[in-house]
Amino acid sequence: MVKRVRGQKIELEGFNNLTKSLSFNIYDVCYARSTESQIEYLEYIDEEYNSKRLENIVQEITNIIRARLVNVSTQDYDPRGASVVALLNEDQNAAGNATRPRISAAPAVVGHLDTSHIAIHTYPEYNQLSGIATFRVDVDISTCGMISPLSVLNYLIESFESDVITINYNVRGFTRDSHGDKLFIDHDISSIQEYISEDVLDLYSVYDINIISDNVFHTKMRIKTLKLANFLFGDEVKTLERKEKKRIKKSLELEIQEIFESKNFRRKKPKKNKEGKENKESKENK
């Protein structure tokens, strides 16, 4: 088989043993004023992204990367959350590797060891004090052979309401060219952003941490413009006053930034002296 990498045309020897792993993680943030609305939001999310919907997403991922489903396991959790795990086999005809026989789909463990797998898990939660509910989705795709998970990024971003996105991609192992030399990567990449459309990137603030020498790539994205109407849930939010809307929007922006940077920015409580009064220094800093 012939493959082009880093500007050079190469011919591989035998099966491609490289493992390409994509970890895709999104957060959807929402404000629900009352406890009832928060629960309604979580129930809505739980129904919208149940195991059947996730299974359909897995099927589309499989089509995009030109693989073949071997086995699928789904689970809806009580009270909320869902998971899908799928084992894949490389579509030999689509990958252009007709020399390697197709493996039977019967034993799932064979499909698992042979090519790849996909796992999707959802994690809905809410904070009663702040009124902010968060829905998290983890997608893990691991492939070997000629197929690559990078081509599904635009589809995944569009499949979920993605306010914060974390993507990790790395290539492990090595394969050999026709001369017996080791190849530690079989495609050109210097950033995950190269595989995301410009229209999508324009919606987000993005930064990278890449260790190109080790084929390790990391990208984080957060939504640029927060339109408050898209982040409110429940009937009671329809009568919010302007001042309250401003406060809520500020809280949502803080929540998104904290998730994006993986740290808390909330102001610390002022220190008190032995008499229980705030220190003079604390008052001056207010």
Contacts of residue 284, Cβ cutoff 8 Å, sequence gap at least 6: none
- Chain centroid to CA 188: 22
SS in 3 state form for 72-85? Answer: EEEEECCCCCEEEE
Rounded Cα gap, residues 240 and 200, in angstroms: 31
In angstroms, the Cα distances linking 51 to 24, 64, 141, 278 are 18, 20, 17, 52
Catalytic residue among 51, 116, 148, 162: 116
Nearest 5°: the CA angle 232, 53, 236 is 15
Rounded Cα gap, residues 245 and 236, in angstroms: 12
**Tokens coding 69:** 């489903």
Burial-class residue 275 by CB neighbours within 10 Å (0-12, 13-18, 19+): exposed
Which helix (H) or strand (E) element contains residue 142? strand 132-144
Strands 164-172 and 216-223, bridge-based pairing: antiparallel
Catalytic annotation on 144?
yes
Catalytic residue among 121, 142, 148, 159: 121
Catalytic residue among 37, 51, 144, 148: 144
- Helix %, strand %, coil % of the chain (to 5): 35, 35, 30
Residue pair 46/82 in contact by the 8 Å Cβ criterion: yes
Catalytically annotated residues: 116, 121, 144
